[in-house]
Chain A
Amino acid sequence: METTIQILINSIVSGLLLSLVAIGFTYIFQVTKVFHLAHGGIYVSGAFACWWVLTKTNNWFAAIILSVAVVAILIYLIEKTIYLPLTKKQSNQSISLIASMGLYVVIVNVLALFFGSENKIIDNTVSGSFELGNIILTKVQAIQSIIGVALIVAFLIYLKFSKSNLALQAVSDNETISKIFSINTESERTKVFIIGSILACIAAILKTMETGIDPQAGMSITLTAAVVAILVARLNVLLIIAFSIGLTILQNSVEWFLNAQWKEGITFLILLLVILFRTEGIISYNLRKDRA
């Protein structure tokens, strides 16, 4: 029983971090139609920037500001030089997927070249934990949950009180008609890329506090976020969070009861079944029509 509760608690915390990555991925995918696997590269770039500043200055505030800036500039350049021109050429989605993979390979290898491939640990982090019987919540996990929830709330508030929410849904549904209705689709695209990348960057920093970071660490979480994006297949933050946590619970149970290596196999088996039998996402089509 206690094991189950412990798995549940750990899953909810890592599910929250996953949902930060997945919200960015889903919004980018739905609005720009780019299957942005380089999100994994952005994720590790943010974490490496933070780690690097911390080793130089030991100042958390500077580290976070700088890593957010690095990520924002990087994604801005990628969007303006690669993704946007490809979209303007009306390339098929598979092409932007391939461009995105190329970018991922470049980013990861540049990081490995400059900083090495070994795992980087942040020294200046909190230790200790809260205990209730045999159930443990580490202080790092507490920080992860608080910041994770705060960011999600901030994102929801942003969607509610800016015009962006409607604009994003419009661009997601039909970019050409959105342009006719004087929505600046290019700026909406840029916004969604930058916001999504910042969310991923913070998630990466939070994860690094717990386990450290290596250049390859971004792929696995991005692929899982991509699975969430395909399963949800719509712009709904709460659903994305629910699916992220659900998927993490499943992965952690598989890891606990079977074997750590099966967890990706099972995640992608679900993806394969959904793609083959419910390409429109798990939520039924009728439900999705109500939104229109």
Chain B
Amino acid sequence: MSDIQELSFETAFEELETIIERLDSGELPLDESVTLYERGRQLATRCQALLDEAELRVQKLLDDGTLAEL
């Protein structure tokens, strides 16, 4: 499992959905389910933070393929 602080919104969001599905299946060992639940909570927090802190970044693609801030 990758570091939560590095995850994009999309990845974190999708992993959160997967975790819920796995927990619902009820087939996991107890310690694993506890770990999963904690990770799920962290993922939700990460998504929330990403939404809260996000600021649209706008760049311009130059003819030579490099990017410049606008």
Are both chains from one complex?
A: no
